[in-house]
Amino acid sequence: MTEMPLHEGGLAIGCRGQASVDSEAGEVFPNADCKSSCSLEEIARTLRRHIVTMIAAAGSGHPGGSLSAVEIVTVLFFRLMRHRSYDPNWKQRDHFILSKGHAAPLLYAALAESGYFPTKELITLRKIDSRLQGHTDRAMVPGVESTAGSLGQGLSFAIGVALACKLDSLDSRIYTLLGDGECDEGQIWEAAMAAPHYHLDNLTAIVDRNNQQIDGWTRDVMNTEPLGEKWHSFGWHVIEVDGHDIGQLLSAFEEAKQIKDKSSVIIAHTIKGKGVSFMENNLKFHGTAPTQEQLEIALRELA
């Protein structure tokens, strides 16, 4: 295994595994320290550095769709979600279900920075004896809630978790991150029909609306527009935001929390490959690792 610089920002280190009580909300935010000790923007940049670094080390992987969803995941893991890195199966936790499993590097980065496992493990991504499988495996990595890689399955899984929380009278919130290309899958619409039918107001889906899938722009490959109207007609409360604007994301999640009796979807308009100039909107970097040279440029841009 090559030794690679991991560019640990150290930003989130102070937060790891230390639960603190947000007295206002009366809720436990294990990562509440982040709110003061480091900005979400800084954390986002750290996650991006992890992503490009680990994919470069692996020699394969999916930078584009990992980078586009960084702010979404940052806001959830380092501000909004109740979770405990020292107790990943904590019954009262909020749940994050990654449906677009090829964004595994993003989730691994967020988990490592949250203290679920050492950030230096990130570099083992996709290597034969690593826990960090190319697509997430829930049985292997603490904090990974779902096994993914075949698209279209996460929302159904999230409904199951949301139903269980209701049955157990838990007020946990369930978040699931979907790709926009992934919304081609019929299973997404089966699930989209079911969630409001079951009145799952504890469920929020986020669509990473980066307008690209593998074969091209979504409007050319399989047009999903008007995407918001589709979700609306399936009974969802729809919120559209700039998915790189942390303020907009925070208030969107807050709005979703207030909606009762139905599920909410946040359509987060993003740029695939966001943060690395030559990866932005570049189809090639959906599923290609940066070379060592490209990595260095990327890290400079993300410094």
Partner 1 sequence: MPQEMSTRKAYGRALVELGEKNPDIVVLDADLSMSTMTHMFAQRFPHRFFDCGIAEQNMIGIAAGLAASGKIPFASTFAVFVPGRCFDQLRLSVAQSQLNVKIVATHGGITSGEDGFSHHAIEDLALICALPGFYVLVPTDAIETTQMVRTAAVTPAPFYIRLSRPSTPVIFDENYHFVLGKAVTLRQGNDAAIIAIGIMVSRALEAAKHLAQEGIECRVVSMPTIKPLDEEAILQSAKETGAIVTAEEHLKHGGLGSRVAQVVAQHYAIPMDFVAIEDTYARSGKAEELLQRYGLTAPAIEQAVKSAISRKQVHHS
Q: Which single residue is written with the structure tokens 């359509």?
A: 267
Q: How far apart are CA 51 and CA 119, in angstroms?
A: 11
Q: Does 212 bind ligand TPP (CB under 6 A)?
A: yes
Site mask, partner 1, residues 27-66, x = CB under 8 A? -------------------------------xxxx-----
CA distance 167 to 91: 13
Q: Which of 63, 115, 154, 179 binds Mg ion (CB under 5 A)?
A: 179
Helices and strands (H, E) in the chain, number of each type: 11, 7
Can you read off the two tokens belonging to residue 34? 């982040």
Task: Find the binder of partner 1 among 185, 204, 237, 239 (CB under 8 A).
Answer: 185
Residue from 105, 115, 181, 290 binding ligand TPP (CB under 6 A): 181
d(CA 36, CA 282): 35
Count of beta carbons in the 10 Å neighbourhood of residue 149? 15
Q: Strand locations in the chain, DSSP E? A: 20-22, 27-29, 95-98, 174-179, 203-209, 237-242, 264-269
* x-marked contacts with its own copies along 165-204 as a string, rule CB under 8 A: -------------------xxxxxxx--xx-xx-------
Residue 105 in contact with residue 50, Cβ under 8 Å?
A: yes
How many of the chain's residues bind its own copies (CB under 8 A)? Answer: 21
Residue (of 209, 57, 75) closest to 123 by Cα position: 57
Query: Is residue 193 a contact residue for ligand TPP (CB under 6 A)?
Result: no
For residue 281, the tally of other CB atoms under 10 A from its CB is 15
Draw the binding track, 88-117, toward partner 1 (x: CB under 8 A; -: no contact).
---------x---x----------------
Could you say which of 157, 175, 231, 285 contacts partner 1 (CB under 8 A)? 157
Q: Which is nearer to ligand TPP, 33 or 208 (CB)?
A: 208
Site for its own copies in 201-230 (CB under 8 A): 222-224, 226, 229-230
Taking CB under 5 A as the criterion, the residue among 94, 121, 180, 201 binding Mg ion is 180
Q: What is the DSSP letter of 18?
A: -
Query: Interface with ligand TPP includes 51 (CB under 6 A)?
Result: no
Q: Of these, 60, 150, 223, 277, which contacts ligand TPP (CB under 6 A)?
A: 150
Which residue intervals of 180-226 are DSSP H helices?
186-197, 218-221
The CB-side HSE value for 98 (13 A sphere, CA atoms) comes to 29
Report the interface residues with its own copies, using CB under 8 A: 184-190, 193-194, 196-197, 222-224, 226, 229-230, 232-235
Residues near partner 1 (CB under 8 A)? 58-61, 97, 101, 126-128, 130, 132-135, 137-139, 145-165, 167-168, 181-182, 184-187, 190-191, 193-194, 198, 213-215, 218, 221-222
